Structure 1
Amino acid sequence: MTIVEELNQEYGEIIAVKFLSYYKYCFRLEIQTTKGIYEMRTGGDRDDIYRYDPLDLDWGEHYCGARVQEIKEIKTFIT
């Protein structure tokens, strides 16, 4: 059995993925599957003072920064 098959068996097949927020190098994703809704956090330092939310993010503040590029790539990937 592959890892994908194991994950599908345990959590169900993925129906939708929603980008919730960005918290300095930490992305929060909501994953809806056939067995329920789960939240996934990837990377980052949760104790860091810098916190961003996709709805509140000041894109001008990080116009040339890597953080904005990472967010755009993640949003493109899960769309």
Structure 2
Amino acid sequence: GVAHYWSRSRGELWRKGDTSGQVQEVVEMRVDCDQDALLLRVNAGGDGKACHTGRKSCFYRKVENSDAGPRLTFSIG
């Protein structure tokens, strides 16, 4: 099917891509051992940018350790 998500800001369930055109076709769905998290593998529609920032993924920031403590680094994409 097509990926649907709960939006905290909207306070409702929404179908990804209804406004952006970035519809996500679900290829595979997995659940973790505690059965409290899902992992969706999707084929992204539109131009493939799933994040509202214009990136392919919302997970473009990486937490890295440094001498000053944890910090966020950014990747292009």
TM-score of the pair, normalised by structure 1: 0.27
TM-score of the pair, normalised by structure 2: 0.27
The structure where strand makes up a greater share of residues is 2
